[in-house]
Structure 1
Amino acid sequence: MDYSTLKTVHQTAVALSISGFFARGLGGLLGAGWVSSRAAKTWPHIIDTVLLLSALSLAWQLRLQLDQAPWLTAKLIGLLVYIGLGVLALKPGRPLGLRAAAFLGALLTVAWMVSVAISKHPLGFFGV
C-alpha cells in the first residue's frame, strides 16, 4: 500500500477510534444500554487493530526509530496513558466521578497525542 493511502487509512481509523470512545464514554456516563452491546464492545477492537497496524506500517515505511523520533516515543507514552484512563472511564462498576474524570483525562490525552502527530514535536500543543 502506498504511503498516501496508508496515511488516509490511519487518519480514518484515528477519527473512528476517538469518535467511538467519545460516544461510548458519554453513553456510559449517561447510563445508555447500548454501551454494553456486543457491537459496542467488538467494533473498537477492530478499529484499533487497523489503527495500530497502519501506525506500524507507516513507521516501517518511513524507517522511523524511537531514538530518532522523540515525538513518536511521546505518542507511545501518551497511548499508554490514554488506554489506562480509557479503561477507568469505561468500567461500569467504578464511581461516576472517577469515570467522568478519567473520560475527560483520556480526551485531553488523545487531543495532545493528535497535536504531537501534527506538529512532530514531543510536547505537542504544550510546546507552542
Structure 2
Amino acid sequence: MEYYALVKHIHMSAAGLSLIGFLLRGYWMLTNSVLLQTKPSKILPHIIDTVLLVAAIVLLVLSELNPFVVNWITAKIILLVAYVILGTIALKRGKTKKIKVIAFVASLASVLAIFAIASIKPALSF
C-alpha cells in the first residue's frame, strides 16, 4: 500500500485537470470558438483521461476492491459512462446548440456526482 497515496494524488489531480479542460472546452463550444478545433484541445483530454483511468485501475488493484461488488465504485463507473456519452454530444455530436447545452449541463451533473461519491464513499450504503 506504499504507492496508494501517490496514485490517489495522481488520480485526483487528473480528475481536476479533466474537469477544468472539459469546462474550458464547454465554454469554447458555447462561444463558438475556433479553439475547440485545435490539435491540443483534441489530444490533451485523451492523455489526461488515460492517466485518470489508469490511476483508477491501479487504485482498484492496490485496494483489492471489486468494482462490481462495491456499490459506490459501480455508481462511479455508470456515471463515468454517462459523462463520456453526454460530453461527446455536448462537444461534438449534438445537432443543435440547444442539444449541446443540455448535454453539457447533464454531463457536468454526472461528473459532479462522481466527485460527490468519491468524497462520501465510506458513508455510502446502498
TM-score (norm 1): 0.91
Residue 68 to residue 92, structure 1, CA distance change in 2 (3 Å): closer
* Equivalent residue number for residue 10 of structure 2: 9
Alignment of 1:1-128 (within 5 A): 2-91=3-92, 94-120=95-121, 121=124
**Residues 74 and 122 of structure 1 are in contact (CA less than 8 Å); yes or no, is this contact kept in structure 2?**
no
State the SS of the aligned residue for 1:94: coil
Amino acid in the other structure paired with 1:77: I
Amino acid in the other structure paired with 1:82: Y
Structure 2 CA distance, aligned partners of 1:110 and 1:93? Answer: 19
CA shift for structure 1 position 94? 1.9
**Residues 85 and 103 of structure 1 are in contact (CA less than 8 Å); yes or no, is this contact kept in structure 2?**
yes
User: How many aligned positions are there?
Assistant: 123
Amino acid in the other structure paired with 2:11: H
Structure 1 CA distance, aligned partners of 2:86 and 2:93? Answer: 13
Structure 1 CA distance, aligned partners of 2:106 and 2:97? Answer: 14
CA shift for structure 1 position 66? 2.4
Structure 2 CA distance, aligned partners of 1:92 and 1:48? Answer: 19
**Residues 89 and 99 of structure 1 are in contact (CA less than 8 Å); yes or no, is this contact kept in structure 2?**
yes
Which ranges in structure 2 are unaligned for 5 or more consecutive residues?
none
Which ranges in structure 1 are unaligned for 5 or more consecutive residues?
124-128
- CA RMSD between the two structures: 1.5
TM-score (norm 2): 0.92
CA shift for structure 1 position 92? 6.3
* Equivalent residue number for residue 126 of structure 1: none
Amino acid in the other structure paired with 1:12: S
Structure 1 CA distance, aligned partners of 2:55 and 2:125? Answer: 20
CA shift for structure 1 position 93? 5.9
